[in-house]
Structure 1
Amino acid sequence: MSSTIRGFDDYLESLPPITFRRLYQQPATTLAIFRRMLPNLAKVFVTTLLYNETPIPQADLEVWARPESSREREDALGKLRRLFIIKEENGQISLDPAFKKNFRLALTGGGDHHSFGVPVRTPEKKKIDLQFLDQYAAKQFDTILHFMVQTASNVHPSEGVKHLLVTSGLMERHGGRSEPTITQNGFSFLLQAGNAQIWVLLIQYLEMSETLGMEKTDVLHFLLMLGSLDLGRAYAVETLTQTQKSMLADLRDYGVVYQRKTTSDCFYPTRLATTLTSDSSGLRSVSESFNAALTVHDPSASTTIPPAPSSLGPVEKGFIMIETNYRIYAYTSSPLQIAVLDLFCNLSSRFPNFVTGKLSRRSIQSAIKLGITADQIIDYLRTHAHVQMRKISVLVLPPTVVDQIRLWEIEGERMKTTTGYLFKEFATVMDWEETRRYAEELGVLRWAGKEQRMLFVTRHEGVADWLKRRAVKLQQQQQMLAAKKAAGT
C-alpha cells in the first residue's frame, strides 16, 4: 500500500535507464516528456542540441544562461540527467540518440509509425461531440470521488477501480466492512487539482500493470500518447498493441477514454486524456471543470449544477467567498464539493445551492490530523475562489486568513522532515565554504555545519558535478605547478 501520494514527475524520474531507452523509441513519448516534464531552460538546451551532429563542450552550455541564473541552469541540467535525455562523456554533452531521432520525427512528422494514433476516417454512426465526452468523463470520474467521500449515490465504480483505490492507499478496508473507507492520503488526494488526481490513479495502475500481465513500458507509452491526441476525434483500436487494447476497459472506468461498446473498432480520448501531458494543472476540480461544455445533473440532488465558463484554465469560475472573520460562503449544490469543504470547515447552514461555514482552530487542526496540510487548504480555497474575490485583490484570499491557517498548523508541529543528501568529510574549511556557497546559489542548501564540515542539500546532482569539476581543475593546477617547478630545476 502506498504511504504517500506520488506525482507523475517523481514517478518518471524513479524509472531505470532501460525503461527510458524503450520509451524513447516512440516519437509521441519524446514529445510528451518534452512538453510536460522539462523546465523552459531545459527545453532550450534540447532544441539547441537537437540538430547538432557532434557533442559540444559542457563549458559552452554554461554560457547559454546568465551567470545569475546558475540555479536555473543546474536545475535544467539535473532534470535532463534524471530523464536520461543527455549523455555526458569526457566533458562533452549530447542528446541520447534514441530521444534525438524520435523527437525529430515528432516535430517533423516523418517516419512510418502509429505513435500518435491512427484517426478513423469514418467514425461510428452515432455522432460523438465534445459535450457528450465531457459529460461522460465527468460522470465516470465524479463517481470515483463521490465513492471516496461516501456521498449518497446509487452509482458505484467498478470493482477494478475499488481495488485500485485500496492498493494505492487512498482507501482501506476495515474488518468485515463491505466497502472501503477513505484514508489520510485519500483526504489529501481530494484537495489536489484534477490533472494531478488522475495521474495519482494512473501511476498506481502502472505499478499494478505487471501483475495484470501487461508490459509497463507499453502502458506508459499509451498514457503519454493519449495526451497528444485530439479531443473529439475517433482513433482506431486495430493499431494498438494487445496490452493497450486491454487497457481501454480500465481507462473507460476512469473516464479517460470512451467507447460505445467493448467491441467497437475505435475509441475517443476525453478531456482527461488530452490534458495528461499539459504543462498547467488545467483541470481544477473535476466536478466543476467539466461543466465547461455542459450542465451536469447530480442524481442525488434536486437541482442541476449550472455550467461554468468554457475554459478549463486558471480563469475558471469559482464558488467560494471567504471573509476576514473566517466565514465561508460556498455557492454550490454539489455533494462532492460540500464534502470536501467539510474536511476543514465547520459547516453551519445548507440551502439548495448555498452553504455557509467557518474556519476555526479545531476544524483546521482536525484536517491536519487527517494528513491535509495548510498549503493544500490555502491552494484549494484560492483555486475555487469566487470571481468577486479575484476582482477585490490580486492575492485573492485575505492575508489574515492565510496567515492564521498556517499558524494553526504550526501550533501542532514539533518537527519538520526534509528529504535530502548529506555531504561530509571536506578536506579543508575552504573546500567546505566554497561548496556551501555554491549549494546556496543553486537553492538546494538546507543546513550547513561549519564545525562538522557538513552540508545537507535537497538535490545532490549539481553539487556533486561541481565537486568533480573542481577536483579536476585543482588537479590540473597542481600538474601545471609541478611542471613549472620541474622546468625551473
Structure 2
Amino acid sequence: MNLLWLESAIPVSTIAAWIIRDGKKLYDTALENLGNLHIVPSSAQKLALNTTFKNSFRQAITGGGTSGSFGVPVEKDDKRPPLDIPALDGYALERWETILHYMVSSGTGQSPTRPSQGVLYLLQRSGLMATLHGTPQITSVGFQFLLHSPHAQLWDLLLQYLHMAEERQMDLVEVLSFLFMLSTMELGREYSTENLSETQKAMLEDLRDYGLVWQRKPNSRRFSPSRLSTTLTSSSPPLPSSTATTSGPQEGFIVLETNYRLYAYTDNPLQTAVLNLFVTLKYRFPNLVVGTITRESVKKALQNGITSDQIISYLSAHAHPQMRKNNPLLPVTVQDQIRLWELEKNRLKSEEGYLYTAFASQADYELVLNYAKQLNVVLWENASKRCFFGSLDGHANIKGFIERRG
C-alpha cells in the first residue's frame, strides 16, 4: 500500500528498514510472490509497482474513472417502498440457513427445504456433500465446514464458486471484481445492473441463491447487497449478531456431563440438526435440547465420515460458559470413549497387494524381502513360513527383480 502511492522507485534497503524481525519471512515471501506476478521487479535495488497494475489498483480502491468499482447507486424512488434492513437480514439468513440445514439434515430421514440446483451442485463439487446409496449426505469435510465461523464458511463456498466459474468459462477477473464490489457497497441501498458485464449479470442469479444479493424480481434492473456481501472483507459479523447460526451464540450453549448426558440451550433447528448427527436426542423444550452421546450415535456419525476429533472439536467450540470453568473443558472419560468407539471401527484395515511365498531357499526369501523393504512396500511378513505381503504399487518392481534373479 505504501508503494501504491509513490510516484518513484524506492530503495530495497529503505523498505527492509520498515520490516520488524518477526515479519522478515512474511516480507520475503510476499516480495517473491509479487515478483513472480511481475507486479514488482524480481531482483532490483529499487522497487516500484508495475505502472498498469498501480493505476488500475488506485482506480479500483478510490472508485475513480468510469469503472464503477463501488457500484452505481440508484436514485431513491418515492413510488417504491424503502428497503427494510431487518427484512434484508431475514432474507439472507433464510437463504444461508437453507443451505446449512440441507447439508446437516440430508440422509437423516428428515426432509429439509432443498436449495437451488446450482447450490446442490456446488456442495457436491466442493466435497461438502456426497451421494451415498442414492442420497446426498454430509461428508467429513462438510462437518469440518460446520465448525468454521460463518465468515470462513462463506469464503469456503465462494472459493469453490471461483473454481466452478473457470469450468463454466466465466471471466475470473469479472467474477472477483464483482465480489469485491459487493463488499464495498452500502447495506440498504439499491444498485443498478446496467453497468454490469454479462458474466456479472449471470452471477446475480447464483448469488441470490446464496443470500448475498436481493432483487425484487429475477429480471429487475436493480439489486441490493445483503449483509453477507457487505461484510465479505470486513471483521463485522456476516449475519445479525442477535441471530443464532451454526457458530452458535457467542458464549456457547452446550453442557456435557461425565455420564454422557448433553444439554444444549438452543431453540435453533440448525444447531439441533447438527447435534442429531452424533447425539441421541431424548427431549426438546422451547429453549433446551437434552440428549445422550451413545455408542450407536457416534458409530452413525463415524459411518458418515465424521471423525472423533471433529465431534470433540464441535463440543469444545460450543461449550457453555459454565463448562469453560472446567479444566479440562470436556470430561476426559467422554473424550476417551468417543475415541475408543472410533478405534473399534478402525480395528481392521484392508490393503490390496500380492502374497509372495514358496521360495526355494531361505537365502532367496531374504534377498527378495530385503529388496521389497528397500522399496518400502512390505505390509506383512512371516519369517517362519517364508512369505510376505507386498503392496500393489511395489508388485511390478518385485516381479521384475525376481525374474532378473531367475
TM over 0.5: yes
**Residue in structure 1 matched with residue 268 of structure 2 by the alignment:** 334
**Residue in structure 2 matched with residue 199 of structure 1 by the alignment:** 155
Check conservation: 2:36, 2:42, Cα contact below 8 A.
no
- Displacement of 1:172: 2.6
- Please say if 1:138 is aligned against 2:96: no
Distance 1:359 1:335 in 2: 19
**Deviation per CA, 1:84-117, whole angstroms, max 9, x where unpaired?**
6544333433334344223333454433321110
Larger gyration radius, structure 1 or structure 2: 2
Q: Report the AA paired with residue 133 of structure 1.
A: L
Q: Report the AA paired with residue 184 of structure 2.
A: S
Given candidates 106, 114, 131, the residue that maps to 1:173 is 131
Q: In structure 1, the residue corresponding to 2:289 is in which secondary structure?
A: strand
Structure 1 149/83 Cα, relative in aligned 2: closer, same or farther at 3 Å? farther
Check conservation: 1:374, 1:405, Cα contact below 8 A.
no
Check conservation: 1:227, 1:273, Cα contact below 8 A.
yes
Check conservation: 2:102, 2:112, Cα contact below 8 A.
no
Given candidates 61, 84, 87, the residue that maps to 2:15 is 61
Given candidates 112, 117, 129, the residue that maps to 2:84 is 129
What is the 5 A alignment of 1:232-251?
232-251=188-207
| RCO comparison, higher one (Cα < 8 Å, 6+) | 1
Q: In structure 2, the residue corresponding to 1:399 is in which secondary structure?
A: coil
Check conservation: 1:188, 1:371, Cα contact below 8 A.
no
Structure 1 236/398 Cα, relative in aligned 2: closer, same or farther at 3 Å? farther
- Please say if 1:183 is aligned against 2:139: yes
- Displacement of 1:237: 0.9
Check conservation: 2:149, 2:247, Cα contact below 8 A.
no
- Displacement of 1:231: 1.3
Q: Report the AA paired with residue 59 of structure 1.
A: S
- Please say if 1:351 is aligned against 2:299: no
Q: In structure 1, the residue corresponding to 2:223 is in which secondary structure?
A: strand
Q: Report the AA paired with residue 196 of structure 2.
A: L
Q: In structure 2, the residue corresponding to 1:173 is in which secondary structure?
A: strand
**Deviation per CA, 1:435-459, whole angstroms, max 9, x where unpaired?**
xxxxxxxxxxxxxxxxxxxxxxxxx
Check conservation: 1:148, 1:182, Cα contact below 8 A.
yes
**Residue in structure 2 matched with residue 93 of structure 1 by the alignment:** 47
Distance 2:316 2:51 in 1: 44
- Displacement of 1:222: 1.1
Structure 1 120/172 Cα, relative in aligned 2: closer, same or farther at 3 Å? same
**Residue in structure 1 matched with residue 385 of structure 2 by the alignment:** none
- Displacement of 1:63: 2.1
Q: Report the AA paired with residue 399 of structure 1.
A: P
**Residue in structure 2 matched with residue 448 of structure 1 by the alignment:** none
Structure 1 382/132 Cα, relative in aligned 2: closer, same or farther at 3 Å? farther
Distance 1:359 1:353 in 2: 20
Q: In structure 2, the residue corresponding to 1:114 is in which secondary structure?
A: coil
What is the 5 A alignment of 1:242-391?
242-279=198-235, 282-283=237-238, 289-290=239-240, 292=242, 316=250, 318-322=252-256, 327-357=261-291, 370-372=304-306, 377=311, 380-381=314-315, 383-386=317-320, 388-389=321-322
Provide the aligned C-alpha RMSD in A: 3.8
Distance 1:122 1:245 in 2: 22
Structure 1 147/69 Cα, relative in aligned 2: closer, same or farther at 3 Å? closer
What is the 5 A alignment of 1:2-41?
none
**Deviation per CA, 1:219-276, whole angstroms, max 9, x where unpaired?**
2221222111111111111111111111111111111110010121110111111122
Unaligned residue ranges in structure 2 (runs of 5+): 348-406
Distance 1:84 1:212 in 2: 27
Structure 1 74/343 Cα, relative in aligned 2: closer, same or farther at 3 Å? farther
**Residue in structure 2 matched with residue 156 of structure 1 by the alignment:** 114
What is the 5 A alignment of 1:405-420?
none
- Displacement of 1:348: 4.4
TM value normalised by structure 2: 0.69
Structure 1 362/117 Cα, relative in aligned 2: closer, same or farther at 3 Å? same
What percentage of residue pairs aligned between the two structures are identical?
45
**Deviation per CA, 1:382-406, whole angstroms, max 9, x where unpaired?**
55444x449x65xxx7435297788
Q: Report the AA paired with residue 126 of structure 1.
A: P
